[in-house]
Amino acid sequence: MSQAAPDNSKRTTFLRRSASTLGLWAVVAIALASRQAWAYVGLVGVLTLISTLEYFQMLKAGGVKCFPRYGMLLAVAYSGALYWILLNTGGLAAAPFSGEGIDLSHCMLPKFLALREWIDGIAIFAALAGTFILQLRHPIRGSEPLQAVASNVLGFVYIAFLFNFAARIVFLVPGPGQVPGAMVLLWMIAVTKFSDMGAYIVGSMIGKHKMIPHVSPGKTWQGFGGAIFFALLAGCGLYGFFQDDMPHFAAGLHVLGGWVNVLVLSIVLCLLAVVGDLAESVVKRSLNVKDSGHMLPGIGGALDLIDSLCFTAPVLYFYLKWMSL
C-alpha cells in the first residue's frame, strides 16, 4: 500500500500535465490558424502579464520587498507600446532581409522603426530609475532597498523583456502576410516545449542520477538526455514537414539556414530551455514555493509555462538577425 500512493500521484500528475499541454497546444494552433497578428501578440501579452503578476505575488508571499504596482504598470506599458509598434510597422524591419525597397518617406514610419530600436533601452531605464525613485519614499533598512530595486528590475527583464522576443520573431523574418514569422515561432515553441516534455517523461521513467539537486531535486541526467532527443525530434521533424512553409531570404537561403543549422539550433535551444527551467527553480526555491501559480493543472502557473521560452526566444531572435546580415 505504501508504494501505490506515489504511483497514483505520479499517474494523476502526468494525466493533468498531459491535459494542460494538449489544451495549450490547442490555443497555439488556433492562434496559428487565425493568421492574425493581433492573435499572436495577444497570446504573448496575456502570458506576459499573468506571469509578471505571479512573480510579484511570489515575492510578496516570500516577504521580499518590491513595488508590484509599478512592476505591473511597466510590464503593461512596455508590452502595449511594443505591440503597437510591431502591428503598425508590420514586416518593415524585415525588408532589408529580402532586399525589397520600401518607401518610408510618408507618414511616421521612420520614427516608428527608430522607436522599435529604442524602446528596450527606455523601458530598462524606466525599470531602474522608477524603482529607485519609489524607494526614495521609504527609510533605509539594511539591504532591503537594494532587494526592492533588484527584484523589480529582475522581474521586468526576466519576464516582460525576454519573453516578448517571441512576439518580435513573428515580425522579424521576411514574407507575405501579417505574420510571416508564424512558422518560425511555432518551430521555436515546439523545440522548447518538447525539451521540457522529454526531460519530464524520460526523467519520470528512468531518471536516477540527479543533475543539480540543490536547485531542482527532480532534474536528472537521464531526463536531460531525453530533453535533447525530444528537441531534435521536434526541430528536425517540423523542419522536414514544413520546410516549404517557412520564409526564405531573398537569395533563397532558408531563414533557419538548412539542416546543419537546424540540428545545432535545436540542441542550443534545448540547453537554453533547461537553463530557463532551472532559473525559475532558483527563484521558486529562494522564495520557498513549488509552483508560480495554479492556472494550469499539472504544470503550475503561467511563469512555469514560459520560463524556458524566456531564454530560447531571445537567442533565436538574435540568430535570425545575424542570418540577415
Say which residue the cell 487565425 belongs to: 34
Q: Which helix (H) or strand (E) holds 220?
A: strand 216-220
Instruction: Return the number of other C-beta atoms located less than 10 Å from residue 132's C-beta.
Output: 14
H or E stretch at 9 = helix 4-34
Tens-place pLDDT, residues 79-99: 999 998 888 876 554 444 444
Q: What pLDDT band is residue 122 in, cutting at 50, 70 and 90?
A: very high
Spatial distance between the Cα atoms of 93 and 117, rounded to a whole number of angstroms = 10
Q: Are 174 and 97 in contact (CB under 8 A)?
A: yes
Q: How far is CA 315 from CA 213, 273, 298, 309, 312, in A?
A: 27, 11, 28, 10, 5
Mean pLDDT on 240-246: 81
Residue that is written with C-alpha cell 510590464 in the block: 75
Q: Which of 29-43, 151-165, 275-289 shows the lowest mean pLDDT across its residues? A: 29-43
Q: Do 287 and 208 touch, CB atoms closer than 8 A?
A: no
- Residue with C-alpha cell 502595449? 80
Residue 104 confidence (pLDDT) above 50: no
Q: What is the largest CA-CA distance in the chain?
A: 76
Residues 6 or more apart whose Cβ sits within 8 Å of residue 186:
28, 32, 238
Q: Which pLDDT value is given to residue 96?
A: 44
At position 232, the amino acid (one-letter code) is L
CA 244 to chain centre: 25
- Where residue 297 falls among pLDDT bands split at 50, 70, 90? low
Q: What are the b/e assignments for 9-42, b being 16+ CB within 10 Å?
A: eeeeeeeebeebbeebeeebeebbeeeebebbbe
303 vs 301: CA distance, rounded Å = 5
pTM for this prediction: 0.85
